[in-house]
Amino acid sequence: MSERYLWHVTLTSGDRRRSPRSEVAAETIRILRPLLDLALRGEHAPVPGQPGYTMTGGSTGRCAMVTLWRILPDTTGERVPVLHVGIAGHSRCGAALWRSLHELAGARLPVATNPDRQPVTPWCADLLDIGLAMDPQVTGWTGDWSRCIAWTYLMMTEE
């Protein structure tokens, strides 16, 4: 049997790559699962190993949107969005999610992808947001984080 993979797309650049399931350890999924479950209920869940960052989200069917937030220093918990990750396990909900990501980008976040041409499922798509400009070093771990979140969600929906 061949290895499973998902397409990982960055909307702002149009970059895409195949992410095999083997890139995410079972232990990582075990750690992220309860946090992702909390985030999908709309609560701010911590991001393991990244103090000052939380995640929230929502899901419909086999698709989800997870947002990574940066807690602003020297505030009373004010947050700014850093990254939105769309995760599609099925093409039907994936088409609506793909268009929603492009609508969220609007004119303020230019994208290089076509809103009418979603990738083959399963996929995860990263849409960068304003919080990235406040901490550009975050790009050193967000790609891995989004793939881990995507595989965790896909594994959750298969149970």
DSSP-assigned letters across all residues of 69-114 = EEEPTTSSS-EEEEEEEEEESSHHHHHHHHHHHHHHHTTTS--SS-
Report the candidate in 55, 35, 33, 31 with the shortest Cα–Cα distance to residue 44.
55
Supply the pLDDT for residue 28.
Answer: 97
pTM: 0.95
pLDDT bin (cut points 50, 70, 90) of residue 1 is: low
Report the candidate in 149, 158, 140 with the shortest Cα–Cα distance to residue 31.
149
Residue 14 has pLDDT above 70, yes or no: yes
Q: Which helix (H) or strand (E) holds 150?
A: helix 139-157
Residue 159 has pLDDT above 90, yes or no: no
| Per-residue model confidence as pLDDT tens digits over 134-151 | 888 999 999 999 999 999
| Per-residue model confidence as pLDDT tens digits over 30-82 | 999 999 999 999 999 999 999 999 999 999 999 999 999 999 988 778 999 99
Residue 107 has pLDDT above 90, yes or no: no
Q: Which residue has the tokens 């929230």?
A: 56
Supply the pLDDT for residue 133.
Answer: 87
The backbone region for 42, taken as left when phi is positive above 0, alpha when psi lies in -120 to 50, beta otherwise, is left
pLDDT bin (cut points 50, 70, 90) of residue 110 is: confident
Those residues with Cβ within 8 angstroms of residue 152's Cβ, 6 or more apart along the chain or in another chain: 24, 28, 29, 32, 33, 36
Say how far apart CA 128 and CA 61 lie, in whole Å: 24
At 84, the amino acid letter reads H
Residue 158 has pLDDT above 80, yes or no: yes
Please, what is the average pLDDT of the chain? 94
The residue extents of the domains of the chain are 5-157
